[in-house]
Structure 1
Amino acid sequence: MLKKFASLMTLLLPAISTYAQAIWFSPNAGPSDYMALFQPDAPWQQVSTHIQTFCFSCNQVFNPSWGINLPDMLSDLRRRHISLEVGMSPLSGDGHCGFHVEGYSNAAQPLSDARRLKAAGAEVSCYAMDEPFYYGHVFTGQNACHASIEDIAKDVAAKVKQVRSIYPGVGIGDVEPVGIPYGNWLSDLEQWFDAFNAATGSPLAFFRVDMQWGANWQGQMRQLAALLRRKGIPLQVIYNGSGNDRSDAAWTAQAAKHFRDYEASGLPKPDVAVFQCWTKNPTRMLPETDPSTLTGLVLQYIKSR
């Protein structure tokens, strides 16, 4: 028995002593070396062993113009023991509002995508919703719906039911911007958490922060972290650059500054650090030895921990 316990501790101690956060990886499918990530000898051997979950959106992998070979991708992720997260636009709107607004999609789109993923052999560990609270309730731009929180929850619940008909019990997380405060933002967010739970029958699997790094985010994050602790919802933070960065080196330097700034702020550490890009930079994923690539950024983070 003691020998078995010692062997178990040998397995656990490296994970405990390295860092508390998990690392999830969400690259933009646009760079030309995206599919090179899924070659057995791809030059991200260190980084890939630290990635727990790989994230992508169906509008990229199912779009022929992106050139994504889904079977090859899934096969390599399984070989690397990396789980899969799928992005979801969880709102439908009423046919007028929500048109060409982020977070909205056709009413049956998640079901269609989930069926295609399942047919391809994908085992999805979780879904990430694209900012339904912000774009459904807060957003004031063109075609804004200004929906009530209860109506958003009902709209979202219909699509959650769709994906769970294919992937029963799959976790559903929420991605929302932080750093755009308004008068009732914290109480509205708590109401949203409760409405989601009531409408879907389960709490959020996680809350992922799309940080507005140029804003005064520290105070809002402190309040948010306390709310998430009280609700028992794991915190994730996206570490990224900005669309204004004009080179790969500038983008990754900004992203590295952001993870250093956050983790030196005294705020609660995220349960998951998410390295994600949706801008034109960085234009390369590989190799990890180059600090201006996305895998190179993750390696900087790993070494800093």
Structure 2
Amino acid sequence: MKKLFSILAVSFLLASPARAAEIWMFAGPHIEHPAPGWEGLRSDAGDMWKPDAPWRTVARSVKVIQFAPTNVDRARDSDLREALADLKRRNIALAVGTGLLIRSDRCRATTEAYVDQKTMEDLFDKLRRNGADVKYVTMDEPFFYGHRDSGPTSCHESPQALAQALKESIAIVRKYFPNAKIGSDEVVDASGPWVQELVQWTDTFKAVTGEPLAYIHTDLNWKEGSVRNLLPLAAALKQRHVALGIIYDADSANNNSDENWSRNTISHFAEVESGLGVHPDHAVIETWVKTPTRMLPENQPGTFTNVVLQYIQRNQKN
């Protein structure tokens, strides 16, 4: 199997010319009352949805913006509607990232991959009644947390059980957004066997649910082994017509300031696309930490949209 993956990786590099990735990015509506500890961080997020907001170059190039559940839950309806209306005006598609494994007697894990059914339905109901058109739902690492995670509440469910549970959850999502495409974030680390399991998981998901995953977005720790594992994963997903997304963010040693987060994230663009030669279908620029502390303006180093702008400019030169 290892030899097969090596052959696939080489074939992928030889057969795949460089091409521009779709740019996905993190954002959200204005939040009047942030979660404790997040006060004042990215407080300009709501300013993005004004017609003259200073991210015009980025807005013209971004294909998808992804909201997190907390962005939706904590936003007032009026602020959510403003953001959703501006996304439509700018012709940017909306994705929502959330856990889709419903807690039940089957498994009551407390990780982010699992969610209470009412919480999930409330999320999609709030989006629908405020005018959202959810094009994509990104599942929050269901295979990693459902199958591999070693945390105290983990259930180590089989791939078949996970896929069946997700089939039922997806049916609920489609009550609200019938045409939403379903993809997933998943951990990619230095383990070769894990990459093989992840690829096999895409086959199980398709067999059980009756539809392929629309994409996998990789959550890397940015150590050398995890980055190199993008090669066999990219080759295998290409064969299966599953889009590969790479989440570009900073490693844990470089997320302590806006400047360090930005510099380190930008270095990962070159590491993957120039150094490794992997060109993702989706370049997913995202943060789960408190940096960068500002979204705008795009022409100011250290802001979130400036990092997206630098990705755009880098690819225009290549």
- 1:158 alignment partner in structure 2: 168
Aligned-pair distance for 1:110?
A: 2.9
Unaligned runs of 5+ in 2: 1-17, 30-40
Distance 1:133 1:94 in 2: 17
Structure 1 28/125 Cα, relative in aligned 2: closer, same or farther at 3 Å?
closer
SS in 2 for 1:301: helix
| 1:272 aligned to which of 275, 282, 292 | 282
Does the CA-based 8 Å contact 2:230-2:278 persist in structure 1? no
Which whole-Å deviations, capped at 9, do the CAs of 1:2-33 have from their partners, x for residues lacking one?
Answer: xxxxxxxxxxxxxxxx9521111113775111
- 1:227 alignment partner in structure 2: 236
SS in 2 for 1:172: strand
Q: TM-score with structure 2 length normalisation?
A: 0.84
- TM alignment of 1:1-305, pairs within 5 A: 20-27=20-27, 30-64=41-75, 69-95=79-105, 97-181=107-191, 184-244=193-253, 245-305=255-315
Distance 1:190 1:259 in 2: 24
Which whole-Å deviations, capped at 9, do the CAs of 1:204-230 have from their partners, x for residues lacking one?
Answer: 011111122024124311111111011
Structure 1 258/102 Cα, relative in aligned 2: closer, same or farther at 3 Å?
same
Distance 2:264 2:218 in 1: 17
Unaligned runs of 5+ in 1: 1-17
SS in 1 for 2:279: coil
Distance 1:232 1:214 in 2: 27
- CA RMSD between the two structures: 2.1
Q: TM-score with structure 1 length normalisation?
A: 0.87
Does the CA-based 8 Å contact 1:137-1:146 persist in structure 2? yes
Which whole-Å deviations, capped at 9, do the CAs of 1:234-285 have from their partners, x for residues lacking one?
Answer: 1111111134421100000000011111111233300110110110100000
Question: What letter corresponds to residue 33 of structure 1 in structure 2?
Answer: D
Does the CA-based 8 Å contact 2:28-2:83 persist in structure 1? no
Shifted more, 39-48 versus 88-97: the winner is 88-97
Aligned residues: 286
| Identity between Structure 1 and Structure 2 (%) | 35
Does the CA-based 8 Å contact 1:139-1:146 persist in structure 2? yes
Does the CA-based 8 Å contact 2:66-2:94 persist in structure 1? yes
